[in-house]
Amino acid sequence: MSQKTASKDEVIVDLDAQDAIIEASGVVKTYESGRIRVEALKSVDLTVNRGEMVAIMGPSGCGKTTLLNCLSGLDEIDSGSILIAGTDLAKLSDNKRTAFRAQDMGFIFQFYNLLPVLNAVENTELPLLVSGVGTREARERALAILDMVGLNDWSTHRPAELSGGQRQRVTIARALVNDPAIVWADEPTGDLDSSTADEVMALMRDLNQRNRQTFVVVTHDPRIGDMCDRIIQMHDGEIVSDGR
């Protein structure tokens, strides 16, 4: 990971220090909207090691997305604790947390991933730009990663001009462009046909193995689960099984 400290202003969380990169214990998340109360996470404990590729699976509504959002610090939790490389993200200021996401995390969301008004390469380079990488370097790195996901001919196309699979590959490129320590992926292959899904998945697996990046992947697809190091099964806000 040392190759990218050059572009960082400061080290917010020392990712190299520990082997357990994600440590969650007793995480509770409740949604209250009006009279309805949904216990989306009921005391979840989870540890993920650096370089692991973890699949989170479970029926719709069981709390997968919620867990991902909480772990990555996008959402707040009601009780319990979450440490990323030993640091409690909840205790960081919003700006520090944001900078951390920009520099060390990559995201692939279930919906709404790309800005429709920017083209593929502009979308891809955004995480670099927000973490202060110069425009020229950012563009070069974005093009390189687009090339890697096989989109070098499509870099100036807008999302609306790309197919679902191409869009998803741009999203992956963006998630990886800043060389993140952790990649959070929520149904990265949800909209894709099975062969494209396989391609995308193989790509992620390849990157994970090459760069020792940690992947947390939410999926419905058992074949994707099979490609991961570890499968966590959720049901109704709880982890019901964990392992291969």
Ligand X SMILES: Nc1ncnc2c1ncn2[C@@H]1O[C@H](COP(=O)(O)OP(=O)(O)OP(=O)(O)O)[C@@H](O)[C@H]1O
Residues of this chain that bind ligand X (CB under 6 A): 31, 33, 38, 40, 60-66, 110
The DSSP line for 56-86 is EE-STTSSHHHHHHHHTTSS--SEEEEEETT
Q: Helix or strand or coil: residue 212?
A: coil
Nearer to Mg ion by Cβ, of 58 and 180: the residue is 58
Q: Does 156 bind other proteins (CB under 8 A)?
A: no
Segment 172 to 201, residues that bind other proteins, using CB under 8 A: 174
- Residue 83 and residue 89: Cα distance in Å, rounded? 7
Q: How far is the CB of 98 from other proteins (least distance, A)?
A: 5
Q: What is the DSSP string of 68-132?
A: HHHHTTSS--SEEEEEETTEEGGGS-HHHHHHHHHHHEEEE-SS--S-TTS-HHHHHHHHHHHTT
Answer for which of 116, 195, 210, 243 binds other proteins (CB under 8 A) is 116
Under the binding rule (CB under 8 A), the answer on residue 92 touching other proteins is: no
- Gap between the Cα atoms of 229 and 244, Å rounded: 7
- Residue 164 is a binding residue for other proteins (CB under 8 A): no
Residue 32 sits in the site that holds other proteins (CB under 8 A): no
| C-alpha–C-alpha distance, residues 214 and 180, integer Å | 9
Q: Is 243 in the site for other proteins (CB under 8 A)?
A: no
Tokens of 35: 């009279």
Q: Which two tokens stand for residue 126?
A: 């955004």
| Partner from other proteins, ligand X, Mg ion, none binding residue 109, C-beta < 5-8 Å depending on class | other proteins
State how far the Cα of 50 lies from the Cα of 85, in Å rounded to an integer. 9
Nearer to other proteins, 10 or 94 (CB): 94
Window contacting other proteins (CB under 8 A); options: 79-87, 121-129, 162-170, 220-228: 121-129
Closest CB to other proteins among residues 19, 31: 31
Residues in touch with other proteins (CB under 8 A): 65-66, 69, 72, 74-75, 94-95, 98-99, 101-103, 107, 109-113, 115-118, 122, 126-127, 129-132, 134-135, 160, 174
